Chains A and B, each alone.
Chain A
Amino acid sequence: MTDLERRLSGLDGPPARPPVLPEADVSYTLHDTPIGRMLLATAAGKVVASSFGDEETMTHRLARAISPRVLRQSAPLDDVRRQLDEFLAGHRKSFDLAIDLTLATDFQRLVLADLPHLTSYGRTTTYGELAGEIERPKAARAVGTALGANPLCVVLPCHRVIGASGALTGYAGGLDAKRFLLNLESKS
């Protein structure tokens, strides 16, 4: 490369600004909470993700499942963030949000969709009991797996479901997060 070519390659001005774009098909934001960083996403006015998954994995999933026009835009998620913060501070017991389980499989949807009604604030239930509630009494293990894949953590309260022995067993956000949520609910 000649000097002139090097000068051309390095041609630059003062810092530019990133583009300004219309509201995306999927808007998401990373939100720091007492139980860790969560990725919140909305599409067509419905919440599609409230997840502990990492940004790269989650945005690729959203791109495949909904639309590749996925952008980091926090304004469309203001209400979701506010409700989540209120919930995690113990000032709110249920969510008033339109949700879409488009990231879930049919069976996961069956398990997850009615969780706010099949469980109650401040009480726990077991995988087996929940399997009975959805009329799949033998599917406790599959129910556990479906809960583990919950794309709408906290909003759909999979944290209220524990093992028959009383063990917390597992949680996408880690067992500390699950303990935090159950303590919060039992105190509030």
Chain B
Amino acid sequence: MPVKKTGLPPFQLLVDEHWRDVARLARALAGPVDGDDVAQRAWEKAFAAYPKLTSARNLRSWLLTITARCATDLHRARKPQRPLDEAPPLTVDGPDATQWPDPELWKAVSALPERQRQAVTLKYVGDLDHHGVAAALDTTPAASRRLVSDALATLRATLGVDDD
């Protein structure tokens, strides 16, 4: 199939329209300490890949997907590799989110299993539908739906809210 003329908008327009969303999602995915690094890395990747993009549709989901992958990469790079019988390393506390609005929710989201955290933040912070979440997580919409509902159940239990 011939490559259609894509008519990609100037990259500045993506930055202007979406940098706040990317920053918010990156923080929700990677936590308050690493979130800003993840956002910066996501923009660098997007900038490098942009000229080769074949469609100008869904640029926002494209950016949020890159952000989710950068958060996963960081998470994997940080995962401690140690024998089971060794004492777990102690993390050094960075600037935490206790002064941010809704600190309980930040804490509860950070404590979710990785896939659940990704799914629920892409869905609500990123405002993607289940097709968008599934594309970002390389899974099916049904699996995305399950992850989100499991995450919501965990959050309800952690936060002691019951709002079904």
Contacts and interface: CB of A to CB of B under 8 A. Distances in A.
A167 interface: no
Task: Name the prevailing secondary structure of the B interface residues.
Answer: helix
Given A21-B44, A59-B12, A64-B7, A16 B23 contact: yes
Contacts of B12: 28, 59, 70-72
B48 to A, nearest CB: 9
B47 A69 contact: yes
Interface stretch (B73-81, B129-137, B138-146, B151-159): B151-159
A69 B28 CA distance: 28
A68 B50 contact: yes
A5 B43 contact: no
Nearest to A8: B124
Contacts of A26: 10
Interface string B27-57: 1100010011001100110010011000000
30 contacts: A2-B164, A4-B161, A8-B120, A8-B123, A9-B125, A10-B101, A11-B24, A11-B102, A11-B121, A11-B124, A12-B24, A13-B24, A13-B32, A13-B101, A13-B106, A16-B19, A16-B23, A16-B39, A18-B19, A19-B40, A19-B43, A59-B12, A59-B13, A62-B10, A63-B11, A68-B6, A68-B10, A68-B50, A68-B51, A70-B12
Interface of B: 6-13, 15, 19-20, 22-24, 27-28, 32, 35-36, 39-40, 43-44, 47, 50-51, 97, 100-102, 105-106, 109, 120-121, 123-125, 127, 152, 155-156, 159, 161, 163-164
